Amino acid sequence: MRIFVALNLPKKERTRIHRASARLREEVLPVRWIDPENYHVTLKFLGDVRQEHVLEVQEIVRRVAESTLPFDLTLGGFGAFPTVRRPRVVWLGVDASAELRCLKQDLEWGLADVGFEPETRAFHPHLTLGRADSRGGAGQFRGFDDVMAELDFSGRAAIHTLDLMRSHLSREGSRYSVLASARLTGR
């Protein structure tokens, strides 16, 4: 099954983000907007993993969570990968705080021990708001940077768990479910 490790935000914060980003969705653009129930911050994408290895991953996630204290995520700033003119992913930025970078590193090390390739790309924590199809050319997204720049949002979300997620691919887009949730206890 297709799995990844992520941080989920309290419902209140997800609703605030959805409201704050409403202006983006008013633009007529080839973007598939994510439902607020599915907002999350991915820490590590693991791809298709066989059932017997899923338990192994779950154990690593639990161990990392046990050595991590609860912390706050700071959110703010809208942007897109790879660029706002030709976006694939439209996102809300997440502050790469020391806590978040430590957690990401602990996960990478733990998962490398059971054979998952460590990430070599720079860590740009973000919350995906939508997936764009920019094959129609950059012209479609003209002015989108100004719309983004007009938005003003800053958020804070208390994180108490590290979640192992499952991604279900379908024609309507991806749906996500929590496979296992490990409490951050910092023991």
* Residues with catalytic roles: 40, 126
Choose the stretch contacting ligand 3AM; rule: CB under 6 A; options: 7-15, 17-25, 40-48, 66-74. Answer: 40-48
Report the distance separating Cα 4 and Cα 184, nearest Å: 17
Tell me how far, at minimum, the Cβ of 178 lies from ligand 3AM, in Å.
Answer: 13
Residue 21 is a binding residue for ligand 3AM (CB under 6 A): no
Q: Which three-class secondary structure state does DSSP give residue 168?
A: strand
Residue 141 is a binding residue for ligand 3AM (CB under 6 A): no
Report the distance separating Cα 67 and Cα 103, nearest Å: 9
Residue type, position 98, single letter:
A
What residues from 70 to 99 belong to the interface with ligand 3AM (CB under 6 A)? Answer: none
Structure tokens at 170: 């379908």
Looking at beta carbons only, is 116 or 144 nearer to ligand 3AM?
116
Report the distance separating Cα 179 and Cα 174, nearest Å: 15
DSSP state string for 52-88: HHHHHHHHHHHHHHHT---EEEEEEEEEEEE-SSSEE
Looking at beta carbons only, is 133 or 150 nearer to ligand 3AM?
133
Among 17, 31, 167, 182, binds ligand 3AM (CB under 6 A): 167
Binding stretches for ligand 3AM (CB under 6 A): 4, 40, 42, 45, 128, 167, 174
